[in-house]
Amino acid sequence: MKKWEEHVRRVVPYTPGEQPNRPGMIKLNTNENPYPPSPEVQKALEGLKADSFRLYPDPSASELITALAEYYGKDRERFFVGVGSDDVIAMAFQTFFNSEKPILFPDISYSFYSVWAELFGIPYRRPALDQEFRLVKEDYFAENGGIIFPNPNAPTGIYMELDGVEEILARNPDSVVIVDEAYVDFAGPSAMELVDRYENLMVVQTFSKSRSMAGMRIGFAYAQPALIRYLNDVKYSFNSYTMNLPSLKLGAAALKDRSYFQETVGKIVNTRERVKKELSALGFSFPDSRANFIFASHESCPARELFEALKEQNIYVRYFSSPGIDNYLRITVGTDEEMDALLEFLNRYLNGKKERE
Ligand code: PMP
C-alpha cells in the first residue's frame, strides 16, 4: 500500500443496474417508465436557451418547489428538492441519522441504504422480512437512531397500508422516520397525509419512475418545515446548486400535466396486473407487487439462467445474487408490447426446456 493510500476513505459502492444502449433492446432492468414524459416537458425543453446556462441556477429551486406546493396543495416550506431521491436520501442520512444508536431498515430493501450508512459511519441494523417478504412492523418498535424503509418496498414491491406506517411512527416519536416512496404512485395513498400529525416524518418521492424523468434526476422530500430547514442547512453546507436549470424548469412543467400523469400510471398498473396473471400461468410466483416491477421466481428454472437467456434475446431484467433473493428476477413493467415479447420468450424457453428434459 502506498503511504497516501492509508488515508483514503475506502467504501464498497452501490452497483446501479446496467445501462446498455443496444439497438432493439427491451430494457426492463432499472424500473424506468416506458412512456415519454408529458408533452409539457417537451414544450418547456424547446423553450430553453443555451444562454441561460451562463448563470447559476436558483439555489432555492423556487420554481420547482412552487410547482410541487401547488400540485400537492401544501406550503412551500414543506418541500426540499434534490438530484434524484438518492441525493435527497443521502442528505437526510447525514442530517438526521446522527445518533450512537443504530438506524433500522429491512434486510431486503434498497441496497443503497447500507452503502450510505457505511460511507457516513452510521451504525445500522437490518431486521429480517417475514417468510412472505413482508416488513414486520414490531421490529421497528425497538430503540433506534432513525428508521428508513421504502413503501412499496424494493425489490419486493410490497406496499404497507398507511395504518401500519402510522403505527411505526406512533412508536418512534424520538427519531426521524423516512418513508421512501419511490414507487408509491403505482401503489396507494402516500404517507404525505401523515405529515401534519408527525413532526418526525419525512416522505421522499422521485420523478424517475411515475413521471418518466429518470434522466433529469429530480427527487423531493415532504415534511414539516423544521425538518426541511435542517435538511437545507446540510445542503447549503455541501453544494448550494444541486439542481441544474433544465431540471428545475422541466420538473415544474411535468407537474402541470396531471391528466397525462394519471393516464400513464394507469396504463402501467393495468399492464402489471395482466402480466402477473400471465407469469402465474407460466409457473412464476411473486409477492403482490404494487410498484412498476414484479419480483418473480420460477417453480423450476433458476433465475440466473433466465436472466442470462433473456439477455441473449436483448431483454434486460435485474438479477440480484444476494442471499434470500438469488432465485428472483426483478422485471420492470414496460409497455404492453414489451411485456408481450418477454412473455412470449419465457413461454418458448420454458416449454423448450421441458421438452429437452
Ligand atoms: N429509492 C428506491 C427504493 C429506489 O428503488 C430508487 C431507484 N433506484 C431510488 C430511491 C432512487 O431513485 P432516484 O434517485 O432516481 O430518484
Q: Which of 151, 205, 208 to mutate to test the pocket of ligand 1 (most atoms within 8 A of CB)?
A: 208
Let me know: does 201 contact 194? Beta carbons within 8 Å: yes
What local confidence, expressed as pLDDT, does residue 207 receive?
A: 98
The Cα-based distances of 180 to 10, 167, 220, 237, 347 in angstroms read: 27, 16, 10, 23, 35
- Stronger pLDDT, 25 or 353, i.e. the higher one: 25
Per residue in 101-156, pLDDT (tens digit) is 999 999 999 999 999 999 999 999 999 999 999 999 999 999 999 999 999 999 99
The domain 39-256 having CATH identifier 3.40.640.10: the answer here is yes
Instruction: Please identify, in words, the CATH class of the domain defined by 21-36+259-356.
Output: alpha beta
Q: What is the pLDDT of residues 340-351, one digit of tens each?
A: 999 999 999 999
* Domain positions in the chain: 21-36+259-356, 39-256
Tens-place pLDDT, residues 219-267: 999 999 999 999 999 999 999 999 999 999 999 999 999 999 999 999 9
Instruction: For ligand 1, say whether the CB of 210 is within 6 Å of any of its atoms.
Output: no
Q: Is the CB of 108 under 6 A from ligand 1?
A: no
Q: What's the predicted TM-score (pTM) here?
A: 0.97
Decide whether any atom of ligand 1 lies within 6 Å of the 84 Cβ.
yes
